[in-house]
Amino acid sequence: MTASAEKFTRQTLLDVQSLTPSLFTLRTTRDPGFRFVAGQFVRLGVTKADGSTVWRAYSVVSSPFDEHLDFFSIVVPGGEFTSELSRLRVGDTLLVERQATGFLTLNRFVDGRDLWLLGTGTGVAPFLSILQDFEVWEKFERIILVYSAREARELAYQSLIQGLGEREYLAEYAHKLTYLPLVTREQHPGALNGRITTLIENGELERAAGVELSPEHSRVMICGNPQMIDDTRQLLKQRDMQLSLSRRPGQVAVENYW
């Protein structure tokens, strides 16, 4: 089989950064023909010592226009894929499928004034790609990024988030973004304390954002562990906010990330 006929390309690992013993970021080269929409994911493959390949889906952190690909990973204890992935070093090869997929993209919403991005752990990944794409800044008046982690040291890509407003193409739109980090297991300066669901229930999240969660104006993307997504969806459903489907546009879009 020729390389062009294969469903994947071989990319080189450019950078690996450990955030904690169980969290790390990685950057690879990008095939010139690889295309994706901000918010989508792609399957990555790692070749094991016995020659077999293990595949897992990862949201792309980088912008659709970057020359590289960024990913954010957790090490699952005993996990076949992440155990192999975490052993990789700069210069090693990572397989990247040619076809990206996923529906946590801006075209899920036909309207809306305020965009809420609710992410836990590595579930922040697709939102970082969306925030680096110009479309979201044009489409919404307010963008609220809510990023929840257990400990403050687990909050990744802080320099990327803080530096969005300094990018030339976003400078005049920087005022639209409100960034709300959440830390659930400790108190941390500048961060809210508590789970996303708790802070929605008690109104603290809306107070901190300075904007109301409403079916009329709010569009909500949720990415993280399935339990958080289910619980948050139920809270939003109580406010008459429904999942957005192709046959029935709504206010909520989700992606399980576990």
Question: pLDDT by residue (tens digit) across 149-206?
Answer: 999 999 999 999 999 999 999 999 999 999 999 999 999 999 999 999 999 999 999 9
The answer to whether the beta carbons of residues 69 and 32 sit under 8 Å apart is no
Cα–Cα distance, 50 to 256 (Å, whole number): 31
- What average pLDDT score do residues 253-258 get? 80
Question: Which CATH number belongs to the domain containing residue 74 in this structure?
Answer: 2.40.30.10
Do 87 and 13 belong together in one domain?
yes
Residues β-bridged to residue 221: 117, 253
Q: Which of 95, 120, 150 is the last residue of a domain?
A: 95
**What pLDDT score was predicted for residue 79?**
87
In a domain, 199, yes or no: yes
**What pLDDT score was predicted for residue 1?**
47
- What average pLDDT score do residues 68-86 get? 91
Do 226 and 187 belong together in one domain?
yes
Do 199 and 125 belong together in one domain?
yes
Q: Which of 95, 124, 145 is the last residue of a domain?
A: 95
pLDDT digits (tens, 9 = 90+) for 7-63: 999 999 999 999 999 999 999 999 999 999 999 999 999 998 899 999 999 999 999
In a domain, 1, yes or no: no
Specify the pTM. 0.95
- What average pLDDT score do residues 126-150 get? 97
Alpha helices in the chain (DSSP H): 80-85, 125-131, 134-139, 158-163, 196-201, 204-209, 226-237
The answer to whether the beta carbons of residues 60 and 78 sit under 8 Å apart is no
- What average pLDDT score do residues 106-133 get? 97
**Integer CA distances (angstroms), 127 to 40, 71, 72, 94, in order:** 10, 12, 12, 23
Distance of CA 197 to the CA centre of its chain: 18
Which tokens hold the place of 117? 């991005």
Q: What are phi and psi of 19, to 5 degrees?
A: -90, -45
Do 112 and 179 belong together in one domain?
yes
- What average pLDDT score do residues 65-71 get? 98
Cα–Cα distance, 241 to 233 (Å, whole number): 8
Cα–Cα distance, 32 to 67 (Å, whole number): 8
Angle at Cα 144 formed by Cα 139 and Cα 147, nearest 5°? 130
**What pLDDT score was predicted for residue 4?**
54
In a domain, 246, yes or no: yes
Cα–Cα distance, 27 to 61 (Å, whole number): 9
Do 58 and 83 belong together in one domain?
yes
pLDDT digits (tens, 9 = 90+) for 215-253: 999 999 999 999 999 999 999 999 999 999 988 999 999
Q: Which of 70, 95, 120 is the last residue of a domain?
A: 95
Domain span at residue 50 reads: 6-95
Question: Which CATH number belongs to the domain containing residue 202 in this structure?
Answer: 3.40.50.80
